[in-house]
Amino acid sequence: MQSKMKESDPILEVENLSASTDNLPILKGVSITVYPGEIHAIMGRNGCGKSTLSKIIAGHPSYNITNGDIKFLGENINSLEPEERAQSGIFLGFQYPIEIPGVSNLEFLRVSTNARRKFLNKEELDTFDFEELVKEKLEIVKMDHAFLSRSVNQGFSGGEKKRNEILQMALLEPKIAILDETDSGLDIDALRIVASGIKKISNAKTGIILITHYQRLLDEIKPNYVHVMSDGQIIKTGESDLALELEEKGYEWTDNFIKET
Amino acid sequence: MEIIEKIKTNKSSNNLTEIQKICLDKLQASPLPNPKSEQWRLSDKSKFSNFLNYSFKEKNPKFNAPFPHTSQRTIRLVIGDNSQINLVEKNYSIKQLSEYKLVNYIKEQISCFDQNENWSDLLNLSLNCTKNTLGLKINGSEIPPIEIFSHASSNSLNAKTLVIFLEKNCAIDLLQVNLGKENSSLSQSTFFCLEENSSVNHGVVSYGENKSNLLNSLNVIQQNNSEYNLGSLHFKFNYARFEIRIKQSEGKAKTNIKGMQITKKDEQISTFTKIDFNGPNGFLDQINKSLADDKSHAIFEGSIIVPKIAQKTDASQLSRNLLLSNFAQIDTKPQLEIIADDVKCKHGATISQLNEEELFYMRTRGITLTEASKLQLSSYIQEIISFIPVSKDRWDLLDKLLNEN
């Protein structure tokens, strides 16, 4: 399905990736390639390895890559630190965004944004210039300015946390964003705001991987490809109608593919 | 007995003050604290004997404050600089305590001393002469913030005593700064009496240089409806003990304590607190934090005493600790002694390491591990720092000190 001729080089190439934590294999030979402008969706049962894949791409230190490669813009990033990956343009939107009591959201966003800007050889922003930038980005996710003076994610509702993730994505302008169940815990209105935010941020030069259980996010953001994961492997890849079929037939339907593989 | 000889050889017996004589008599009976007692069992013996090793000096070298006296409004005092304090303004007065009142008050305190629990005070008062004692009586309203410095000079043991009477209906912000020079020992004892309806925001910031030591004892008596807020920070001492004893003499008083000790290298810093409710309707909210790195050792022991008379006491004591290295050690023991049956008391302790998930989250936003750890630590410290009555320009210096290796 991904063998079509592409005009540009891939942003992300995950090649036959196997990984484990505490000697427990989690990923067992995952391959996925994302080109500029593409939106990929990864679906699958709980515990199939979707979130692990996203964390490993982001460089979580608890996981060991036992085989395979992750290439970002053609360079192998297996041994890069999480911050180096982030600075170079990989963004992970967390399923459960972490609360950091005592660290102001505004300062956190400013330090993050400047880390990325430094990598891009852009001028770092002082507090005043950053205020201007963040004001503009807040519009994208329809967040109140008051959120900035609070501690990172502390006391935020589920929806507010997810919007804060998309705000960070808007500020960091990543080359590729992996959004892990960004739709979970959102009501219909919040889902639309988040989905519209993602669409505004993405463009023909960026790639997006959406990890989700539900069709409702994919109704808002139509993926080019849908991958079904099971037991640490991608067992089927199709176009957007695969998600619809999955919604209709359930994950039991995919068990047949496992038998086939 | 060495310490007694040291005091005696320093002065002829005839020159000793009445207080010194009383305390020396008490020390004769027990020259050193009992190493098996609850208050001293974890104390590092070699570090403690190093504290006592320096020769005692009464004279104070010229003192250079670590931060400039920028605010016109702030009153700055240095214990032992010989200046007479007699500030009488329209709304307030800050006067030196008469020797008679000072001696009587200290004698009254000594009569209640326990040999082990108050050993640090006994040492302080036996070493100290009137010259290194500052006694203040404060009353009135709209009192400017006060800064009081105590310091130990290099290669010596210095003792400083501070006595403060806060009269009825009076409110102050007081910052006490204890500084230890390289290879020095400072014995600081503070006696604070808060009369009815008075309130104080008391900051105690103590930091030393290489191989400096500190015995810091704080004794507070709170009368009816008084409010005592203490924010404390101790760091950069080879060996330091902070002993806090607070007595709500008739209950119906409010005490809030937020304290922190930061240890690195092979330092040992400990905090001991004893909060005594001697009447009904008392309130306490206490949090003590320790942050231990390298091979250092931080200790917290807290006790809350609620006798039968102290009904309707509402007290909370929490010890939160962060271990930054596999070789660092933290001992913590918050305890309650409750006899009254109609009270609300709770205590707890946690020891953890830097939160890995928080660190990973920050790193996925491009923040380096070092920077993320700093952010996490500063958020941990912030809760305590924000409670200390210190202006912004002072904290720039402290921030720098806290971030030094």
- Do residue A98 and residue B363 have CB atoms under 8 angstroms apart? no
Where does a domain end: B205, B221, B249? B249
Name the helix (H) or strand (E) containing B276.
Answer: strand B268-277
Query: Is B9 an 8 Å CB contact of chain A?
Result: no
CA distance B286 to chain A (A): 19
How high is the pLDDT of residue B396? 64
**What mean pLDDT, rounded, does chain A reach?**
91
Where does a domain end: B249, B273, B307? B249
- What average pLDDT score do residues B324-347 get? 93
Tens digit of each residue's pLDDT (9 = 90 or more) over B119-175: 999 999 999 878 899 999 999 999 999 999 999 989 999 999 999 999 999 999 999
Tens digit of each residue's pLDDT (9 = 90 or more) over B169-199: 999 999 999 999 999 999 999 999 999 999 9
Whether residue B232 contacts residue B216, with contact meaning beta carbons closer than 8 Å, is answered with no
User: Does the pLDDT of residue B14 top 80, yes or no?
Assistant: no
Identity of the amino acid at A4: K
Answer yes or no: is B403 within a domain: yes
Answer yes or no: is B276 within a domain: no
- Do residue A82 and residue B363 have CB atoms under 8 angstroms apart? yes
- Do residue A82 and residue B358 have CB atoms under 8 angstroms apart? no
Answer yes or no: is B334 within a domain: no
Q: Which residues contact A156 (CB under 8 A, 6 or more apart)?
A: A97, A99, A147, A150, A164
How high is the pLDDT of residue B15? 73
Tens digit of each residue's pLDDT (9 = 90 or more) over B56-85: 887 777 777 776 666 678 899 999 887 788
Q: What are phi and psi of A75, to 5 degrees?
A: -100, 140
How high is the pLDDT of residue B230? 97
Superfamily of domain A12-97+174-260 in the CATH hierarchy: P-loop containing nucleotide triphosphate hydrolases (3.40.50.300)
How high is the pLDDT of residue B9? 66
- Distances in Å between the Cα of A31 and the Cα atoms of A13, A71, A257, B9 are 7, 11, 17, 83
Tens digit of each residue's pLDDT (9 = 90 or more) over A40-58: 999 999 999 999 999 999 9
Nearest CA in chain A to B357: A98
How high is the pLDDT of residue A65? 96
How high is the pLDDT of residue A1? 46
How high is the pLDDT of residue B280? 97
Answer yes or no: is B373 within a domain: yes
- Which of residues 339 through 368 in chain B touch A, CB cutoff 8 A? 356-358, 360-368
Per DSSP, the residues of B359-404 read HHHHHTTT--HHHHHHHHHHHHHHHHHTTS---HHHHHHHHHHHH-
How high is the pLDDT of residue B328? 96
Answer yes or no: is B294 within a domain: no
Tens digit of each residue's pLDDT (9 = 90 or more) over A11-24: 999 999 999 999 99
Q: What total of structural domains would you count in chain B?
A: 2
How high is the pLDDT of residue B395? 63
- Tell me whether 0.90 is exceeded by the ipTM: yes
Answer yes or no: is B169 within a domain: yes
Across the interface, of B357, B360, B379, the residue whose CB is closest to A102 is B379
How high is the pLDDT of residue B152? 92
How high is the pLDDT of residue A260? 58
Domain boundaries, chain A: 12-97+174-260
Answer yes or no: is B405 within a domain: yes
User: Does the pLDDT of residue B403 top 80, yes or no?
Assistant: no
How high is the pLDDT of residue B8? 66
- Do residue B379 and residue A151 have CB atoms under 8 angstroms apart? yes
- Hey, what are A24's tokens? 């427990």
How high is the pLDDT of residue B392? 58
Answer yes or no: is B291 within a domain: no
Rounded CA-CA distance B282/B220 in Å is: 14
Angle of CA points B252, B256, B262, to nearest 5°: 155
Tens digit of each residue's pLDDT (9 = 90 or more) over A60-103: 999 999 999 999 999 999 999 999 999 999 999 999 999 988 88
User: Does the pLDDT of residue A3 top 50, yes or no?
Assistant: no
- B317: confidence class by pLDDT, cuts 50, 70, 90: very high
Across the interface, of B364, B366, B379, the residue whose CB is closest to A100 is B379
Tens digit of each residue's pLDDT (9 = 90 or more) over B371-396: 898 888 888 888 888 888 876 556 66
Across the interface, of A87, A91, A101, the residue whose CB is closest to B379 is A101
Domain extent for B227:
2-249
